[in-house]
Amino acid sequence: MPSPYRAIFAAPGTRSFSLAGFIGRMPLSMMGIGIVTMISQVTGRYGLAGALSAALAMSAAVLGPQISRLVDRHGQRRVLRPATLFSLAAATGLLLCVKLGAPDWTFFVFTAGVGTVPSLGAMTRARWADIYQGEAQRLHTAYSWESIVDEVCFIFGPILSIGLSTTWFPEAGPLLAGVFLAIGVFWLTSQRATEPVPHPRAADSGGSALRSPGLQVLALAFVATGAIFGSVDVVTVAFAEEQGNKSAASLVLAVYALGSGLAGAVFGLVRVKGRPSVRWLVGVCAMAVSMIPLLLAGNLPLLAVALFVAGLSIAPTMVTTMALVEAHVPRTKLTEGMTWTGTGLAIGVALGSAAAGWVVDASGAEAAYVVPVVSGALAVAVALLGHRRLRTPAPTREGQLEQVDDAAAAVGEHRDGEPHVA
User: pLDDT digit string (tens) for 63-122?
Assistant: 888 888 888 888 889 999 999 999 999 999 999 998 888 898 999 999 999 988 888 888
Query: What is the predicted pLDDT for the residue at 400?
Result: 34
Share of the chain above pLDDT 70, in %: 88
What is the pLDDT at residue 380?
Answer: 94
d(CA 29, CA 384): 30
Reported as a single tens digit per residue, the pLDDT across 388-421 is: 887 754 544 333 333 333 333 333 333 333 333 3
Average pLDDT over residues 152-166: 77
Residue 288 is predicted with a pLDDT of 94
Same CATH topology for 1-196 and 199-415: the answer is: yes
3-state helix, strand, coil split of the chain in percent (to 5) is 80, 0, 20
- pLDDT tens, position by position, 239-279: 887 888 766 777 888 888 888 888 888 887 777 777 888 88
Q: What is the pLDDT of residues 354-382, one digit of tens each?
A: 788 778 878 888 888 999 999 999 999 99
Architecture of domain 1-196: Up-down Bundle (1.20)
Multiple choice CATH, 199-415, 2.60.120.10, 3.60.20.10, 3.40.605.10, 1.20.1250.20: 1.20.1250.20
Q: Which pLDDT value is given to residue 2?
A: 55
Break the chain into its structural domains and give their ranges.
1-196, 199-415
Q: Give exposure, 318-336, as e/b (b: 16+ Cβ within 10 Å).
A: bbbbbbbbbbbbbbbbbbb
Reported as a single tens digit per residue, the pLDDT across 295-331 is 888 888 999 999 999 989 888 888 888 778 877 777 7
Instruction: Tell me the C-alpha distance between 44 and 39, whole Å.
Output: 7
Instruction: Return the SS3 of 395.
Output: strand
pTM: 0.73
